[in-house]
Amino acid sequence: MKFAQMKRQVENLFALADVKINGTRPWDIKVHNNQFYSRVLADGAMGVGESYMDGWWDCEDMAEMSFRTQRADLENKMKPGAGFVFALLQAKLFNMQNRARAKRDMHHHYDIGNDLYKLMLDKRMVYTCAYWKNAKTLDEAQEAKLDLVCKKIGLKKGMSVLDIGCGWGSFAKFAAEKYGAKVVGITIAKEQLTLARELCKGLPIEIRFQDYRDVQEKFDRIVSIGMFEAVGPKNHRDYFKMARRCLKDGGLFLLHTLGSNVSIEAASPWVDKYIFPGAVVPSIKQVGAAIEKLFVMEDWHNFGQYYALTTVAWWNNFSKHWSKIRAKYGERFYRMWRFYLLMGSGVVKARQMQLWQIVLSKDGIVGGYESVR
């Protein structure tokens, strides 16, 4: 295909989202390398992401550009590329989130450096969607989210809580300090483990390096905040069986997860390669099938609109402090992280992805569950 044809084809594609190539509006794309056109046509979304990392194009308002392209469903109008087809085939044939792969994948994202996350996140280091209902700052919004979780599970002093995928211990520390809970947090990211233990020192908290499949004790409450995406469709049922096994009768389990509008087997190839290897955002259908005959769904709360605000806040922190870590991470990482955070903001703002908090009980709360918002 001649260059002029390729250029026109890509221009027409982005025009569906009212995004102009070399236009003058903040959400328009400025192309620096004409190979951009052939790369997009050949590799689809992967080509868009990698060419941005390589400096082939720029966009002043990446979040708005993402919102527009997502609302127009451009990714599904692009050629998927051989990499995505191969990833789908792998996902169908193999368990891409088995024990060995899970440890490798968590290391890829969460062990890249606590220094990065300390600069990017709020003071409690919460790396999940914040709750902005009555908050004005990221710190306020994350504390509101942690408190919301505690209220939804009816947390009381002395209760035992399992935190599956505890991160840097933000929920565990909050629950112990504010509610007097005793918490066991589990993670398979070693850098997280070290810092979480340090941050939770002196509190009734145990932070373990442990796969969720190996937990055997029973707890009054269970929470899983932003970890379920890494479980993978082939393991959903086993994950909920573990949760039921470990939850005491009359207890509550809160699942906080990103949500997909459609059931998928594998993530976007760019996200899988560069950001969250092995992560697959679940659908309502997938969650529903996995909890059937194991749990009663007491409450399902969608506040995906707040994830867009959260990722922009993370980006603002990251860019503000970039000079402190530039030498360690480099320019390509900077562009990769900008693409990840701001494109993610647009995806959720466009309602192509959701954020769910789901409250589950083993056999149903007699008299009903009162929703908390």
Give the tens place of pLDDT for each residue, 1-57: 789 999 999 999 999 999 999 999 999 999 999 999 999 999 999 999 999 999 999
What is the arithmetic mean of pLDDT over 293-307?
Answer: 97
Residue 370 lies in a domain: no
Judge if 124 and 231 occupy the same domain: yes
Q: What is the pLDDT of residue 79?
A: 66
Return the higher-pLDDT residue of 94 and 310: 310
Judge if 222 and 304 occupy the same domain: yes
Number of compact structural domains in the chain: 2
Q: What is the pLDDT of residues 345-363, one digit of tens each?
A: 999 999 999 999 999 999 9
- 210 and 186 Cβ atoms separated by less than 8 Å: yes
Residue 23 lies in a domain: yes
Boundary (domain end) residue, out of 79, 112, 146: 79
Q: Which tokens go with 197?
A: 């233990």
Q: Which tokens go with 359?
A: 């409250």
Percentage of the chain lying above the pLDDT 70 cut: 91
What torsion do the CA atoms of 196, 199, 201, 205 make, to the nearest 10 degrees? -50
Single pTM value for the model: 0.91
Judge if 222 and 354 occupy the same domain: yes
What is the C-alpha to C-alpha distance for residues 103 and 156, in angstroms, rounded to an integer? 33
Which uninterrupted H or E stretch holds 316? helix 305-320
Residue 353 lies in a domain: yes
Residue 39 lies in a domain: yes
Q: Is the pLDDT of residue 100 over 70?
A: no
pLDDT tier at 282 (50, 70, 90 boundaries)? very high
Residue 367 lies in a domain: no
Q: What is the pLDDT of residue 101?
A: 58
Give the 3-state secondary structure percentages of the chain, helix then strand then coil, rounded to 5.
50, 15, 35
Q: What is the pLDDT of residue 93?
A: 46
Return the higher-pLDDT residue of 321 and 108: 321
Strand 353-361 vs strand 296-302: parallel, antiparallel, or unpaired?
A: antiparallel
Using CB atoms within 10 Å of the CB of residue 321, give its burial: 0 to 12 exposed, 13 to 18 middle, 19+ buried: middle
Render the burial of 179-190: b for 16+ CB within 10 Å, e for the rest: bebbbbbbbbbe
Residue 84 lies in a domain: no
Q: Which tokens go with 302?
A: 């969608």
Q: What is the pLDDT of residue 77?
A: 80
Judge if 42 and 104 occupy the same domain: no
Judge if 234 and 207 occupy the same domain: yes
Judge if 174 and 311 occupy the same domain: yes
Q: Which residue has the tokens 């390096």?
A: 209
Q: What is the pLDDT of residue 311?
A: 97
Judge if 229 and 345 occupy the same domain: yes
Boundary (domain end) residue, out of 28, 50, 79: 79
DSSP state of 164: E
What is the arithmetic mean of pLDDT over 99-122?
Answer: 75
Q: What is the mean pLDDT of the chain?
A: 92
pLDDT tier at 103 (50, 70, 90 boundaries)? low
- 61 and 27 Cβ atoms separated by less than 8 Å: yes
Q: What is the CATH number of the domain that holds 135?
A: 3.40.50.150
Closest CA to 241 of 290, 188, 180: 290
Judge if 36 and 138 occupy the same domain: no
Return the higher-pLDDT residue of 90 and 209: 209
Q: What is the pLDDT of residue 267?
A: 80
Judge if 136 and 106 occupy the same domain: yes
> Which domain does 57 fall in, by range?
3-79
Residue 194 lies in a domain: yes
Using CB atoms within 10 Å of the CB of residue 67, give its burial: 0 to 12 exposed, 13 to 18 middle, 19+ buried: buried
Judge if 273 and 355 occupy the same domain: yes
Judge if 199 and 279 occupy the same domain: yes
Q: What is the pLDDT of residue 86?
A: 44
Boundary (domain end) residue, out of 79, 114, 131: 79
Judge if 105 and 74 occupy the same domain: no
Using CB atoms within 10 Å of the CB of residue 322, give its burial: 0 to 12 exposed, 13 to 18 middle, 19+ buried: middle
Q: How crowded is residue 277: how many other Cβ atoms within 10 Å of its Cβ?
A: 20
